[in-house]
Amino acid sequence: MKIILPIFLLLSFLPVQAEASEIFGLISTNPAAPTVNPPAADSEQTGQPIPPVPSGQNQTGATALWPSANLTTYEKNQILKNTEKTDTGVKVLGAYYYPDGSLVRGPDKKIFVIFGRYKTLIHNLIALQKYHGQEIISISAEEISGFIPRQCRPGDLIREKGGVKIFFVQKNGKEYVPNLTILRQHYSGQKIHNLDKDEMGKY
């Protein structure tokens, strides 16, 4: 009887130890116990996305974003490197760049519309009506002279003198109008500007 009692007590204690090991994250001795995974170390292991950096804080490392730069135009949502922002544009190495479609006026009172590094003269008040309500920026003669003059603006139709191919002027270059059907469907009644070879080379 004295031998049976210690054996009984020992057997009754073993399951408690197994349950306790599961609670404290140790390897279980109970084959029927469910698998318990240790907590993940970071969000990569859990499969959850890394929370974004809160607004106003800097993010460093390989994933940090570098400001986008465009040295021909300035958009309000862009940040240019090594520039000085002004009320009307951005100063880059002594030259000013304005948003495409800006109206500028020099000391001689002539008004131009700006696209990239090009300027197109607004010849009369009828043409100016296209920009009704838009601010006209007064700039110096030196700044005006920094833009390359050209006759036409994005949206115009152009053709080289003596040629037959017609092109549609885009913001950056020109697009060939392949046939009369497209010309009638999309540009019916629109003036075609006949330009010399040197002028055509600006588009």
Whether residue 180 lies inside any domain: the answer is yes
Shared-domain flag, residues 96 and 145 = yes
User: CA end-to-end span of the chain, whole Å?
Assistant: 109
Give the range of the structural domain holding residue 89, as residue numbers without chain letter: 84-149
Tokens of 88: 């009307």
Whether residue 168 lies inside any domain: the answer is yes
Query: How far lies 172's CA from each of 12, 92, 117, 145, 198, in Å?
Result: 86, 21, 11, 21, 17
Number of domains in the chain: 2
Whether residue 8 lies inside any domain: the answer is no
Sign of the torsion angle spanned by Cα atoms 44, 45, 48, 54 = negative
Chain segment 61-97, per-residue pLDDT in tens: 332 222 223 333 333 333 233 345 555 555 555 556 6
- Residue bearing the bigger pLDDT, 100 or 84: 100
Whether residue 134 lies inside any domain: the answer is yes
Whether residue 22 lies inside any domain: the answer is no
* CA 46/CA 50 separation, integer angstroms: 10
